[in-house]
Amino acid sequence: MTLLNEAQEEQLKEISTHLRQVRQEKSLSIDEIAAKTLIRPAFLQALEEWQFAELPEPVYIQGFIRRYGDALGLDGTALADRLAINVIPRNFNNVSHNLHIKPDIKIYLSVVYILLLVAASIGLLNILNPKLITESLAPKQKIIPSPLASLTVPSPSVTNISAVEVTLELQGDSWLQVKADGNTEFEGILTKGERKTWRAKKQLTVRSGNAGVVLVSVNQQQPKPLGDEGKVKEVIYTPDANSQ
């Protein structure tokens, strides 16, 4: 995972120490917490022992804290919010001092993230559907309709798709985040056997913490695994291109 900076490490140490103390006071084992939260015991052990390099990205750590706190009868959401994800990096003060500038870090990081996301989406679209890019750049030609055009029966296999529909079927437990047209429609844990469907007009994004157990069916097509088991993967689906 990306290394935490000093501020995040201090916050996480304080939170994990509090969680460990409450767990011990309630005489609960790591395995009992793992069974309640569906978090791997190795992650819980790493969290309590400050082995933060063994944990995934900070956004997943926030989810661990929330579920861990709720399992102990605490306010898990409040605990998770104490871990600030967008904080000033370790060397930012030196850089800012040398350049004599004080940018708004949160705004800067948000803009950079959006720009990177747009650039990545365009690049993947060009790879997966280069014909769309070529046709958009080619000069448009005037098409003269045939007199028999009114007698032509459209092929049933050709569909003018104006939206995208994605169905997820779980073969195991996985954390999932689903966004439709930029709005978060779902974020949480789905267990084995669950089946959910979401629709979007322009873009539907699926992010999984265990991509190998998630079967994806796009517009009622044959379901396929989202990715490899145990791996984090994010896929963007649109009406024009099933995945980007």
- Which has the minimum average pLDDT: 50-54, 106-110, 194-198, 238-242? 106-110
The b-or-e profile of 128-154 (16+ CB within 10 A means b, else e) is ebeeeeeeeeeeeeeeeeeeeeeeeee
Residue 86 is predicted with a pLDDT of 59
Residues near 133 by Cβ (< 8 Å), separated by ≥ 6? 125, 126
pLDDT tops 80 at residue 198: yes
Question: Contact, 125 vs 133, CB < 8 A?
Answer: yes
Residue-wise pLDDT for 69-115, tens only, equals 999 999 999 999 998 775 434 443 443 334 333 445 556 677 776 88
Pairing assessment for the beta strands 183-190 and 214-218 based on DSSP bridges: unpaired
Percentage of the chain with pLDDT > 90? 52
Q: Across all residues in the chain, what is the average pLDDT?
A: 79
Residue 58 is predicted with a pLDDT of 87
Q: What is the pTM of this model?
A: 0.39
H or E element in which residue 217 lies:
strand 214-218
Residue-wise pLDDT for 23-54, tens only, equals 999 999 999 999 999 999 999 999 999 988 88
pLDDT tops 90 at residue 153: no
Share of the chain residues as helix, strand and coil, in percent rounded to the nearest 5: 45, 20, 40
Structure tokens at 138: 């080619």
DSSP string, 134-162: HHHHSPP-PPPPPTTGGGPPPPTT-----
More confident residue, 117 or 50: 50
